[in-house]
C-alpha cells in the first residue's frame, strides 16, 4: 500500500549494513539470525524503500582480505547498488571489533596500534570515497578507559587530535571531497569513552587544524544514555553549522545502548527531533543506526526498518500539523508577544542602550505572576501526537 508514509528517495532514509544485517548476538547470547551478505542486505533495503546504505570497512571487506578479494567484493557491491539505485552517503571505519583495538585506536597507549589505526582508516576512507560517500564518521567506541590509571586524559585528547589532523590532511592531499562527522557516546563498550557527548565534540572541533572539515554525528541513544535532551544537542550542532550527519534510533534512559527502532520509546522527543530537522530544512541523511529486537526473524527486521521510516514520516506530518494548528500558533504568539515593545532595547551593546536598560523600571512582581500556558501548549502537542486533534 503506497500512502503518505511510504518512504521515497527524497526522504534520504539510510541504514548501515551492520543495522539490518545485525545477527542478534548480544553479550549473553549467540546469533539468532543467519548472516546476510552485503549484497543481500542492499536488496533488502531496496525492498523496504531505503534511499541509501552506510558501512564500516569490515561490514563489506573482511579484515585482512587480499587486495584482489577486496576489489572483487567491491565490484559485486557496486553492481548491487546499480541494480537497486541505492547510494552510499556515509562510510566509517571499524576501529573497535578487532582485538588489536581493545585499548582504543587513536588513543591506544601502543604507538603501533595508533599507526595501524591510521593505516586502516586511510584504506577505509579510500573505500568510502570509491563508493561515493561524502560524510565519514568517527565513532571512538574503544577510545576510553576502565581505570584512569591507564591513560592520561590530556595525552588521549592530544592523540585523538593528532590522528584527526593527520586524516584531514590526508583527505586534502588526496583531493577527496569528504567531511568528517564525530560521533559521541558516554560509555559502552569502554567503562568511560573520551569526548562523551556531542557538546564535548563541538568543543573539541575548534582545536583541530581543519575545523571546517569536521562536524558531528549525534545519535539519539548516546545522548539519552547520558540523560541529555537530544534535540537540544542537535540544535546546538545545527546552529554551529556542524550537523553533518545524524544517527536516529531510540533508547530508554539508564539502559545500555539499546539502538531501538526510531520512535519506539520516546514518542514526544522523537517528534521534536523530526520537527527540528524538517523546520530547519536539514538536507542530510536520516540514518537509522538501530537494529531489530533479538526476537525477530528477517521478516521482523524488515518490519523494524519499515517502522523506522514510517514513524519518521508520520511525525513529519504531525510536525506540519503542529506548525499549522491555530490554537497552538495563537498560544505561541501570546507566549512570545512583546507587550511593552521591549525587544527594541535588546541586542548588541552600545552605551546608549546600556543607559536605557539601566534607566528602565521593570515590574518584577508582575513578571513573576505571568502564566505562560505551557501546560495547555504541551497538552495540545500530546493530543496532536495521540491523533485526537
**Cβ(291)–Cβ(302) below 8 Å:** no
Indicate whether 219 belongs to the interface with ligand DIG (CB under 6 A): yes
Indicate whether 328 belongs to the interface with ligand DIG (CB under 6 A): no
- The smaller minimum CB distance to ligand DIG, of residues 171 and 319, is found at 171
Q: Looking at 3, 43, 57, 59, which residue is catalytic?
A: 59
Q: Give the nearest residue (CB) to ligand DIG.
A: 139
Q: Which of residues 288-307 bind ligand DIG (CB under 6 A)?
A: 289
Active-site residue flag, 56: yes
- Out of ligand DIG, Mn ion, none, which partner does residue 134 contact, by CB within 5 to 8 A per kind? none
Quick one: how many helices (H) and strands (E) in the chain? 15, 10
Q: Which of residues 231-290 bind Mn ion (CB under 5 A)?
A: 247, 257, 259, 289
Instruction: Classify each residue of 206-217 as buried b or exposed e, where b means 16 or more C-beta atoms within 10 Å of its C-beta.
Output: eebeeeebbbbb
Supply φ then ψ for residue 195, to 5 degrees: 50, 65
- Please tell me the distance from the alpha carbon of residue 308 to that of residue 231, in angstroms, as a whole number: 18
- Please tell me the distance from the alpha carbon of residue 62 to that of residue 183, in angstroms, as a whole number: 23
**Cβ(280)–Cβ(239) below 8 Å:** no
Quick one: cell of 164? 584527526
Quick one: cell of 210? 581543519
Identify the three-state secondary structure at position 102: strand
Interface mask toward Mn ion for 201-220; x: CB under 5 A = ------------------x-
Smallest gap, in angstroms, from Cβ of residue 138 to ligand DIG? 8
Indicate whether 92 belongs to the interface with ligand DIG (CB under 6 A): yes
Indicate whether 139 belongs to the interface with ligand DIG (CB under 6 A): yes
Q: Looking at 3, 11, 26, 56, which residue is catalytic?
A: 56
Indicate whether 230 belongs to the interface with ligand DIG (CB under 6 A): no
**Cβ(328)–Cβ(380) below 8 Å:** yes
- Out of ligand DIG, Mn ion, none, which partner does residue 92 contact, by CB within 5 to 8 A per kind? ligand DIG
Q: Which residues bind ligand DIG (CB under 6 A)?
A: 16, 18, 92, 137, 139, 183, 219, 247, 289
Residues classed as catalytic: 56, 59
Amino acid at each position: 500500500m503506497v500512502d503518505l508514509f511510504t518512504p521515497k528517495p527524497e526522504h534520504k532514509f539510510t541504514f548501515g549494513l551492520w543495522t539490518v544485517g545485525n545477527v542478534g548476538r548480544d553479550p549473553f547470547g549467540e546469533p539468532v539470525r543467519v548472516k546476510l551478505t552485503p549484497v543481500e542486505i542492499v536488496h533488502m533495503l531496496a525492498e523496504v524503500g531505503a534511499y541509501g546504505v552506510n558501512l564500516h570497512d569490515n561490514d563489506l571487506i573482511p579484515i585482512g582480505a587480499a587486495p584482489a578479494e577486496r576489489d572483487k567484493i567491491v565490484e559485486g557491491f557496486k553492481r548491487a547498488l546499480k541494480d537497486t539505485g541505492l547510494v552510499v552517503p556515509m562510510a566509517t571505519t571499524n576501529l573497535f571489533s578487532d582485538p588489536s583495538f581493545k585499548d582504543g585506536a587513536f588513543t591506544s597507549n601502543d604507538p603501533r596500534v595508533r599507526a595501524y589505526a591510521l593505516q586502516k582508516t586511510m584504506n577505509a576512507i579510500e573505500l568510502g570515497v570509491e563508493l561515493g560517500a561524502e560524510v565519514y564518521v568517527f565513532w571512538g567506541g574503544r577510545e576510553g578507559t576502565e581505570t584512569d590509571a591507564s591513560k592520561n586524559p590530556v595525552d588521549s585528547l592530544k592523540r585523538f587530535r593528532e590522528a584527526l589532523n593527520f586524516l584531514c590532511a590526508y583527505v586534502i592531499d588526496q583531493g577527496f571531497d569528504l567531511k568528517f562527522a564525530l560521533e559521541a557516546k558516554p560509555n559502552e563498550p569502554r567503562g568511560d569513552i573520551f569526548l562523551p557527548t556531542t557538546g564535548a565534540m563541538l568543543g573539541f572541533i575548534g582545536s583541530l587544524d581543519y575545523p571546517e572539515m569536521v562536524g558531528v554525528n549525534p545519535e539519539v541513544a548516546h545522548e539519552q544514555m547520558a540523560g541529555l535532551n537530544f534535540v537540544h544537542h542537535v540544535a546546538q550542532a545545527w546552529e554551529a553549522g556542524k550537523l553533518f550527519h545524524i544517527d536516529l534510533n531510540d533508547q530508554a534512559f539508564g539502559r545500555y545502548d539499546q539502538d531501538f527502532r526510531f520512535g519506539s520509546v520516546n514518542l514526544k522527543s522523537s517528534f521534536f527531533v523530526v520537527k527540528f530537522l524538517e523546520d530547519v530544512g536539514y538536507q542530510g541523511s536520516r540514518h537509522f543506526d538501530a537494529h531489530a529486537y533479538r526476537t525477530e526473524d528477517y521478516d521482523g527486521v524488515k518490519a523494524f526498518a519499515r517502522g523506522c521510516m514510517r514513524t519518521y514520516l508520520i511525525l513529519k506530518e504531525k510536525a506540519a500539523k503542529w506548525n499549522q494548528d491555530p490554537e497552538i500558533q495563537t498560544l505561541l504568539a501570546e507566549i512570545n508577544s512583546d507587550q511593552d515593545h521591549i525587544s527594541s532595547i535588546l541586542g548588541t551593546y552600545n552605551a546608549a542602550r546600556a543607559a536605557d536598560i539601566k534607566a528602565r523600571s521593570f515590574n518584577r512582581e508582575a513578571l513573576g505572576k505571568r502564566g505562560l500556558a505551557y501546560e495547555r501548549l504541551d497538552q495540545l502537542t500530546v493530543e496532536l501526537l495521540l491523533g485526537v486533534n
